[in-house]
């Protein structure tokens, strides 16, 4: 006769099998919709380029990965660095980092302001922050275009105030892309920060002031360590879509200031080099993963002393 422990173990195994069986449809959909396309891109990156686009499935080739960082001269076969790709990579990383820092600088005081309002009005402020999500990304990007163009709101206001005599050319520059990404992704920074600050015990802040700590000391020693999870989450939510941004550089950059997503689209479109486009796609994913692992690890270590 089986013991009570054996019966409990068998019952737990049965429940585990049941949970896995119930999860199979969802896991299948996740595999087909998310993981499957990644394997397709990985396979394409190791195939030879087709004559008119597409790939040659039967031919193994590393030309796609080689072309990510290098280029071969068509006359003497000399190998040099792919300056255009490296320039686009640098622009993408630089603008993504600056966007993350800018949204953090703007989002932190915004989230703090909302968290310190009376509970009866906080939902109104959060509602106002989430309103931009109700509008399509393309429409929001065109709205920013109307703000920063030569005859837009910004230049008109500066000229009316007498600060400038002629419009500042912002459109189709890196500044235009930066303004657009900060505007679009700012709510993604504010909401995680607010979620952390809402749980903050402000009696600790008052205790810091009672112990004669200054504003900067309270911010650095009390508030920042306690809201670090919100900072990490917000930075990830902003950095990842910024690095893979396509619409904003396409509209505000005018097709001249490309980022990685625009370069990938170019290879699958006019460039007709699918292996290179696939290799760039996988490289972008790996770049995001490495950056996030480094960021989260450093944030965790630096916050370990405040546990």
Is residue 221 within 8 Å of residue 213, measured between CB atoms? yes
Query: Are residues 222 and 140 part of one domain?
Result: yes
Task: Please state the domain count of the chain.
Answer: 2
Whether the pLDDT of residue 2 is over 60: the answer is no
For residues 287 and 299, give the distance between their C-alpha atoms in angstroms, rounded to a whole number. Answer: 18
Q: Mark whether 117 and 47 lie in a shared domain.
A: no
If asked whether residues 44 and 127 sit together in one domain, one would say no
Kindly report the CATH number assigned to the domain that includes residue 160: 1.10.3720.10
Helix axes 174-198, 119-130, angle to 10 degrees: 150
In a domain, 11, yes or no: no
Range of the domain at 197: 83-272
State the pLDDT confidence band at 132, using cuts at 50, 70 and 90.
confident
The share of the chain scoring above pLDDT 90, in percent, equals 35
- Considering the domain architecture, whether residues 74 and 90 belong to the same structural domain is answered as no
User: CA torsion sign, 168 to 169 to 174 to 177?
Assistant: positive
pLDDT band at 306 (very low <50, low <70, confident <90, very high): very low
Q: pLDDT tens for residues 149-167?
A: 988 899 999 999 888 888 8
Q: Are residues 26 and 166 in the same domain?
A: no
pLDDT, residue 302, reads 57
pLDDT of residue 265: 92
Q: CB–CB of 91/174 below 8 Å?
A: yes
Q: Are residues 28 and 162 in the same domain?
A: no
Q: How far apart are the first and last CA of the chain?
A: 50
Closest by Cα among 246, 97, 249, 235 to 174: 249
Nearest to 250 by CA among 236, 237, 235, 264: 264
Kind and range of the H or E run holding 254:
none
Stretch 276-296: mean pLDDT, rounded?
86
Domain for residue 62, yes or no? yes
**Does the structure show a pLDDT above 70 at 210?**
yes
Evaluate whether residue 126 is within a structural domain.
yes
Q: Do residue 118 and residue 53 come from a single domain?
A: no
- pLDDT for the residue 296: 73
Domain match, 71 and 179 both: no
Q: Is residue 294 part of a domain?
A: no
Question: What is the helix, strand, coil percentage profile of the chain, to 5?
Answer: 75, 5, 20
At which of 56, 81, 106 does a domain end? 81
pTM: 0.84
Q: What is the pLDDT of residue 246?
A: 92
Name the pLDDT band for 82 (thresholds 50, 70, 90): confident
Q: What is the predicted pLDDT for the residue at 305?
A: 45
What integer is the mean pLDDT of 212-229? 84
pLDDT of residue 289: 86
Calculate mean pLDDT across residues 120-134: 88
Residues 120 and 264 reside in one and the same domain: yes
Residues 29 and 127 in one domain: no
Residues 40 and 148 both lie in one domain: no
Q: Please report the pLDDT score of residue 307 as a whole number.
A: 39
Assess if residue 9 is contained within a domain: no
Residue 76 lies in a domain: yes
Residue 238 in any domain: the answer is: yes
Residue 304 lies in a domain: no
Beta bridge partners of 55: 49
> Are 186 and 206 members of one domain?
yes
Domain end residue (candidates: 81, 101, 123):
81
């Amino acid at each position: 006769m089986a013991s009570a422990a054996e019966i409990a173990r068998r019952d737990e195994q049965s429940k585990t099998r049941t949970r896995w069986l119930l999860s199979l449809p969802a896991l299948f959909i996740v595999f087909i919709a998310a993981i499957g396309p990644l394997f397709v891109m990985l396979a394409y990156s190791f195939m030879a380029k087709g004559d008119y686009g597409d790939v040659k499935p039967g031919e193994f080739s590393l030309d796609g990965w080689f072309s990510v960082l290098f280029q071969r001269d068509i006359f003497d076969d000399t190998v040099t660095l792919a300056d255009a790709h490296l320039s686009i990579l640098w622009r993408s990383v630089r603008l993504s980092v600056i966007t993350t820092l800018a949204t953090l600088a703007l989002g932190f005081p915004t989230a703090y302001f909302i968290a310190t309002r009376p509970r009866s009005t906080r939902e109104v402020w959060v509602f106002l922050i989430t309103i931009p999500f109700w509008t399509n990304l393309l429409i929001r990007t065109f709205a920013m275009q109307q703000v920063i163009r030569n005859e837009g709101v910004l230049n008109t206001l500066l000229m009316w105030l007498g600060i400038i005599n002629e419009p500042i050319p912002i459109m189709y520059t890196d500044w235009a892309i930066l303004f657009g990404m900060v505007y679009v992704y700012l709510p993604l920074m504010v909401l995680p920060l607010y979620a952390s600050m809402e749980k903050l015990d402000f009696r600790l802040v008052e205790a810091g002031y009672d112990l004669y700590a200054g504003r900067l000391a309270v911010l650095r020693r009390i508030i920042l360590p306690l809201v670090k999870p919100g900072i990490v989450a917000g930075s990830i939510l902003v950095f990842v879509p910024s690095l893979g941004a396509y619409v904003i550089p396409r509209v505000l950059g005018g097709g001249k200031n490309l980022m990685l997503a625009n370069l990938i689209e170019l290879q699958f479109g006019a460039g007709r080099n699918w292996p290179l486009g696939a290799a760039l796609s996988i490289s972008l994913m790996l770049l995001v993963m490495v950056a996030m692992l480094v960021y989260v690890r450093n944030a965790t270590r630096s916050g370990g002393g405040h546990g």
